[in-house]
Structure 1
Amino acid sequence: MAGPDISILYPRHVDELQRRATQALERGGFDHLVIPSGNVHYQVFDDRDYPYAVNPQFKAWVPLTRNPGSWVVHTPGEKPKLIYLQPFDYWHVVPQAPAGYWVDAFDVVVIRTAGEARQHLPARPERCAIVGESHGALEGYTPNNPDAVIDYLDHQRTIKTPYEIEMMRRATDRGVRAHRAAERAFRAGASEFGIHLAYCQAARQDANELPYGNIVALNEHGAVLHYTERDRVPPAEVRSFLIDAGASHAGYACDITRTYASDRDSEFQSMVNAVEAAEQRLCDKVRAGVDYRQIHLDAHLEMATILRDSGVLDMSPESALETGVSAKFFPHGIGHYIGLQVHDVGGFLESDRGGRIEPPDGHPYLRLTRVLEPGAVVTIEPGIYFADLLMEELRSGEHAGAVNWDKVDALRPYGGIRVEDDVVCTDGDPINLTRDGFASLD
């Protein structure tokens, strides 16, 4: 089935960005919004550059992620301008001339050196809201990142346009294909590093193109929330596999996590199945008007119920949440906004004029505390982990007697469980981009 017509969705997306930018400039008292793509910068005492990362504010306007030294300029009432650096260079591949569905939305100016951009930028930089990093600056055009402008743009960016959701669908298509390849490599006995390579090959993206570093964890490594070591040799006995890995498309990200047991009939696999069923119930709560903080607390009750039913805990789910015991097994937040960035902006904003909504007491790692609106895209990623440090804290605490330590010790070698999908909030039922992607692939 053919997808939506991007040549129609994209101009509407730019129209919306212009509307938002004009309002942001009015809030900040500026005449122009100026967005550098950022520059390559080098390691100290070396001639090696750090991997280039495009300014997210820049790639919101144009699907360009490998074009340092370029600029977008929005002036209310005028066609947006793209200053496109296409240098004379025989050391590196030069970007191709601007082409594609997006070009007609801009007044495109091609420059050959970074300094040439100055003559095409607004004449009075003090009248410009310049958003970006300082190393992306030209003399006189240093980013000032005014709070009033940034707060408004970040707040608005949490609501995705139809174009953006389509870009995330396409990122998901890459991600689910790569996840299937990773599972096959795991079942075939590959090492963590080998699974990672299989993933990159199937996604057709290398580590610098992926939206974040792949978490590829066998056995007890799954208890390390951001495990990125990737052993080169498989363990003597393979018990479990947790993979948290995404993919990118036109600057947009997907973020997917799956967990598997090597023995599909094991007790650990039964726990994986229970977490997955709970995750689907939590995904169904992604609805307009729902406080995301409540979804997080509901996730703790779901995970504590699984721990009780599996014989790990001898206390009610409500008591596990109230006493903090559930947080020893589920120490991170239920999820976050996702889009141009994996942990997308605006998660704590009280309004488009700033302010902060704090996480619930005792849950400092929750990255999103707002009421959900149609167009928001969030991750839902509950988990249960048997991390040595947290288990030792629990064992030495006042609630140690409510834990079946023999059961914990039997599950420690499996590491942990996490299941994660990307979900769109709508005016009605939520849209699960991840499940749709796997269903389409299968």
Structure 2
Amino acid sequence: MTSLPDPAALYAAHLAGLKAHADQALARGGLDHLVIPSGRLHYQAFDDQAYPFQVSPQFKAWLPLTRVPDSWIAYTPGKRPQLIFLQPRDYWHAVPDAPGGWWLEHFDIHIIRTPDQALALLPKPARLCAILGEAHSALGEYAPNNPEAVIDYLAWQRSYKTPYEIALMRQAQARAVRGHRAAEAAFQGGASEFDIHLAYCGAAGQDASQLPYANIVGLNQHAAVLHYTELERSAPAQRRSLLIDAGASAAGYASDITRTHAAEVGSEFQAMIEAVDAAQIAMAQAVAPGVDYRQLHLDAHLALMGILRDFGLITVSPEAALESGVSAAFFPHGLGHLLGLQVHDVAGLAESDRGGRIPRPAGHPYLRMTRVLEPGMVVTIEPGLYFIDMLLDQARANGHGAAIDWDRVAQFRPFGGIRIEDNVLCTNDGADNLTRPAFAAA
């Protein structure tokens, strides 16, 4: 097995890039300082129980710290970045360890014991600070203002992953793949959705609060619910199919992987999974500089409709199915999205580093990526075919009933659907699929 790159050796160059981007963003905003709160705990109404803490993506771009509420990063161009680190005196909860690690030498560290002690250490005046974060992170006059010029520029730059970020994303792939292997074994052993989820978390080594998003674990017809997260505790009487969409995190960077499995080897549904898998591999290989992601999405519709035509589920050509909207009844979501510090990472629709928006193709309202691919972008490629009664009924009501073989649909409806998803890096030489090698290594 090939060893994964060491992020520590790549961090200094990553940080240098962040500082250069911050310099430019502040210049555009006419501001002097960049201030990033890690975030604060959200508490449940009428209770003292907090929701799981989620660190600001802006904060974890600078540091591999994800469980540090009420801490701050402050950066002034030409100076070393500052970390104001909350290490409270507390016997109710685990206190964070003192900062340490390979990034430490690049920051000036200030330990505080209460959140309000940060006020004396933050750059002044507050009115000349770009403060990036959620409103509830406010401390005195340091309320997040999220200047549009700063946010637009930094979001655009986040589209291009550094070698440090790619190294962490490869780690996230490996963790998720371990989970997927365990989930598949649990499914074949007859487990419930909930137990498949637990098997995934155990193998990935992360609980629900650490995963980048809630696991989608759908058996049988539940695979037709795109974001199904109910996790039935009892296994169905008849096991037909599993769709699992689940990722993992590495220092705040996400993976996002989907696989579909059939209970019966050699079944027609298994053959359809294999057809979608082959089409997905080809789609991932099409990732390259200069390729318009919108065209990849439309090409995916044609490929998937070709599969449905081959299996006898539609009676019209793939082109006719796309033009009429029939294809959207079977493939209603977008082909994928940018991936990184967030699962649906920022700037997927951005026109430039000054904002703006590239429109989606007409009739495709859920596509999250409309840009032309460039080296450094990591995108998901996740085609799917589903048997969703509501959408099929709409197709019939819109006069397209003759384009669909309803008897064949009835045969596949109990399986719910199929989705295959890989994470793909666009390089100067084309596609670097981050997911398939991780499965091969596992």
Smaller-chain TM-score bracket: over 0.9
Equivalent residues of 2:176, 2:255 under 8 A apart? yes
Give 1:65-76 correspondences, 5 Å limit. 65-76=66-77
Q: Which residue does the alignment assign to 1:331?
A: 332
Question: 1:214 maps to which residue?
Answer: 215
Partner of 2:64: 63
> What is residue 111 of structure 2 aligned with on the other side?
110
Q: Which amino acid aligns with 1:67?
A: V
Correspondence for 1:257: 258
Aligned residues: 441
Q: CA deviation at 1:51?
A: 1.4
Q: Which amino acid in 2 is paired with 1:7?
A: A
Q: Give the whole-Å Cα distance in 2 for the aligned partners of 1:359 and 1:41.
A: 34
Structure 2: 5+ residue runs without aligned partners?
none
Q: Is the CA contact 2:243–2:417 (under 8 Å) kept in the aligned structure 1?
A: yes
Assess if the C-alpha contact under 8 Å between 1:215 and 1:226 holds in 2: yes
Over the matched positions of the two proteins, sequence identity in percent amounts to 62
- Letter of the structure 2 residue corresponding to residue 22 of structure 1: D
- Deviation, 1:396, is 2.3
**TM-score normalised over the length of structure 2:** 0.99
Offset at residue 2 of structure 1 (A): 3.7
3-state DSSP class of the match of 1:396? helix
Q: Is the 8 A contact 1:6 1:101 kept in 2?
A: no
Q: C-alpha displacement at 1:7, in angstroms?
A: 2.7
- Does residue 15 of structure 1 match 2:16? yes
Residues 279-306 of structure 1 deviation map (CA, whole Å, 9 limit, x = unaligned)? 0110011111111000000000011100
TM-score, normalised on structure 1? 0.99
The answer on whether the counterparts of 2:424 and 2:434 sit within 8 Å (CA) in structure 1 is yes
Residue aligned with 1:110, SS: strand
Q: Deviations 1:244-303 (Å, cap 9, x if unpaired)?
A: 000001000000000011011111111100100000110011111111000000000011
| Matched-pair contact (CA < 8 Å) for 2:38–2:68 | yes
Q: State the Cα deviation string for residues 193-212 of structure 1 (Å, max 9, x = none).
A: 00000000001111010000
After superposition, the C-alpha distances for 1:162-214 in whole angstroms (9 at most, x for unaligned) are 00000000011100000000000000000000000000000111101000000
Alignment partners' CA distance in 2, 1:289 and 1:58: 31
Partner Cα separation in structure 1 for residue 4 and residue 439 of structure 2: 16
Q: Is the 8 A contact 2:222 2:416 kept in 1?
A: yes
Matches within 5 A, 1:2-401: 2-401=3-402
Residue 289 of structure 2 contacts residue 430 of structure 2 at CA under 8 Å; is this kept in 1? no
Distance 1:174 1:106 in 2: 29
Q: Give, as a single letter, the amino acid of the residue that structure 2 aligns with 1:95.
A: P
Check the 8 A contact 1:424/1:430 in 2, yes or no: yes
Give yes or no for contact 2:44–2:51 (8 Å, CA) kept in 1. Answer: yes
Between the aligned partners of 2:104 and 2:135, the Cα distance in structure 1 is 27
Deviations 1:199-235 (A, max 9, x none): 0000111101000000000000000000001111101
Tell me by how many angstroms 1:105 deviates.
1.2
2:37 touches 2:59 (CA, 8 Å); kept in 1? Answer: yes
Letter in 1 for 2:291: V
Structure 2 distance, partners of 1:38, 1:116, is 15
Letter of the structure 1 residue corresponding to residue 84 of structure 2: I
CA distance in 2, matches of 1:373, 1:288: 5
- In structure 1, what residue type is equivalent to 2:177? V
C-alpha distance in 2, partners of 1:254/1:2?
18
Structure 2 letter corresponding to 1:359? R
Preserved contact between residue 6 and residue 167 of structure 2 (Cα < 8 Å):
no
Superposition deviation, residue 326 in structure 1:
0.2
Question: Which residue pairs with 1:408 in the alignment?
Answer: 409
For 2:439 and 2:120, how far apart are their aligned partners in 1?
Answer: 49
> Match of 1:430, SS?
strand
Q: Give SS of 1:244's match.
A: strand
Contact in 2 for aligned 1:311/1:407 (Cα 8 Å): yes
Alpha-carbon separation, structure 2, partners of 1:337 and 1:264: 34
SS of the residue 2:62 aligns to: coil
SS of the residue 1:431 aligns to: strand
Q: Is the 8 A contact 1:287 1:426 kept in 2?
A: yes
- Whether the aligned pair in 2 keeps the contact of 1:25 and 1:149 (CA below 8 Å) is yes
Cα separation, 1, equivalents of 2:6 and 2:392: 52
Q: Identify the residue that residue 420 of structure 2 maps to in structure 1.
A: 419
**In the TM superposition, what whole-angstrom CA distance separates every residue of 1:370-423 from its partner, at most 9, and x where no partner exists?**
011100000000000001111111222211011110000110000000000000
Query: Which SS does the other structure have where 1:424 is aligned?
Result: strand
**Letter matched to residue 159 of structure 1:** Y
Confirm or deny: 8 A CA contact 2:375 2:427 kept in the other structure: yes
Tell me how far apart the structure 2 counterparts of residues 160 and 74 of structure 1 sit (CA, whole Å): 21
SS class of match (2:208): coil
CA–CA separation in structure 1 for the residues paired with 2:197 and 2:4? 29
Question: 1:3 deviation in Å?
Answer: 3.3
Cα RMSD after superposing both structures: 0.8
Kindly indicate whether the alpha-carbon contact (under 8 Å) linking 1:86 and 1:112 is maintained by their aligned counterparts in 2: yes
Task: Give the Cα–Cα distance (whole angstroms) in 2 for the partners of residues 397 and 429 of structure 1.
Answer: 40
Task: Measure, in 2, the Cα distance between the counterparts of 1:380 and 1:224.
Answer: 19
What does the per-residue CA deviation read over 1:125-167, in whole Å, with 9 as the maximum and x for residues that have no partner? 0000000001111010000000000000000000000000000
Q: Using the alignment, how far apart are the partners of 1:119 and 1:46 within structure 2? A: 31
Task: Report the 3-state secondary structure (helix = DSSP H, G, I; strand = E; otherwise coil) of the residue aligned with 1:425.
Answer: strand
Q: Secondary structure at the match of 1:57?
A: helix
